[in-house]
Structure 1
Amino acid sequence: MIKSLCLGYDPPRVYTLSQDFLYKELANIVVDQHLELKRTKNLTLSFDGWTSPLGQSLYAFTTFAKDIISKCQKIVKYFKQSHQAGEELRSKVLNEIVGGGLKSYVVTRWTTVWDCTNSILRLEQILKNILDESPEKLSADISELIQSRSFFTNVEAVNTLLGTVKSVVKSLEFKTTTFADCFVELIKLSQKIKSLPPVSDYDFKYQCVERFNKRWKEFDIQLYLLAYIFHPHYRGKGLRLTVLRNVYILAMKIWINMGGGELSSADLISQIQSFYLRKEEYNIPFSTNKGDVLTWWLLCNPVRSEENHIQKLALKILAITPHNAGCERVFSVLGWFANQRRTK
């Protein structure tokens, strides 16, 4: 009708309002904000809890791991429920693979998530063979997952991290675990994160590094380093000289708080250096399989008892054991105190 009244009028296209006009207005807003920021001084820049300083979403990091685990569980569930596909998998596993078939995970036992992802990687070639030989036995979404180039790479990244965390937590649950063991496990975890393979769509490795660095800052790392030096197996191996100096200062502070004096502090540092350098009087073998750190130090008497300052300090530091790794057991005990006792 408008066209008939004015022959020179061109009606707007279907997408003029929803795309062209909207994009133009958004561009104008961005330009206005940029000019406003240039004119403003003394700004404070803040980030929400889900955004890194580089603008990357930590929510995407969390979602990525959850999404990969969900896809693994989807494959496991399908092969357990499908008679034809399950039978095909069982026959191939029985003849070709050591270690069993696909494993599910239990929500209340987070360590079983690693068992699930690890079983997917272990049976990767078997799953691809089934897809090639009997595609009709697989649903479309399962076939798409197995065909995906990035799926198994992503599973490997999540599995690598989960395996390391599982190993760390289990090793720290022993009653004989010391701060030195904690420090070593933290270093192992950092190296695993550093060696994570690249994954698709999400900067998974970067976010893992960010999370690790955040938690690292929460540790009083000097105390862990002191325990690392006092451990008869590690003896501060790999530490730089500048790090050793700071640890010596901490050792003297703790020693003075224990009642030591200036002269005994100097003797203490001399003894620590002799121990670190494995001098003859401290070069006593230590068994990592059967050895007990506290027993080793109790039997280490290169000087008279009243002059054995390093022994007293080492026994004090290495007697501190991490407790949070066994938090499930602690909460169970607290529940027991509150009369929440299991009858079965």
Structure 2
Amino acid sequence: MNISGGGLKRYCETRWTSSYETINSVVQLQMPLEKIKIENPTVITNASVKKILSSRGFFHDCNQIARILEPLRNTVLFLERNTTTLADCFIMLVQLAVKINKIPHEVAYWLHPNYRGIGLSNNMWSQIAKYASSLLYNSGYKSKNAASKLIANMADFKCKDGIYSLEYDEFRSPQIWWKFVDNNKNNNQLQNIALKLFAIVSHSASCERNFLNLG
């Protein structure tokens, strides 16, 4: 199969640009990868890769992450130019802030076991529930029953009921905390959503050099 734009890109954890290009290459190769998975499954010998490609919402998640990383990547590339000035830095950071504000980061804050939405206004609950439900829907769980279970889990988490009563102080990160949530039946979609959100980590950007040079 002739693939336009090349194959999968290599990943470097210290660069926003390579992070975006790696994720975006997976998105661009969705059709070839799915074709291989269906028509030539023996080509993929790694069991972990097979499991990932077969999981619900994998390519949707990659697309969402690529959309988040793209403005960061564009900002870094712009700031790395030799002709960049302080005014350019200011403008690009303002534009980046506008795009970041469009990302529902309140959901990640709300799902942090140490905060659980402390300080957010009451009307944020409906927005967070709506966005979490959309994540669930896009992951392949489209029934009303699945949405109802998700909302019930969110209410239990907020009130520290049942499996969500685990204290956070003993854990190093929210991701580790969510992994300790009892999920024997593997059907806790709130846990799955939280783990996906907290798997997105920050990276050091090479544009730091420009800020140092600019004083």
Which structure has more relative contact order (CA 8 Å, sep 6+)? It is: 2
Tell me which structure has the larger Cα radius of gyration: 1
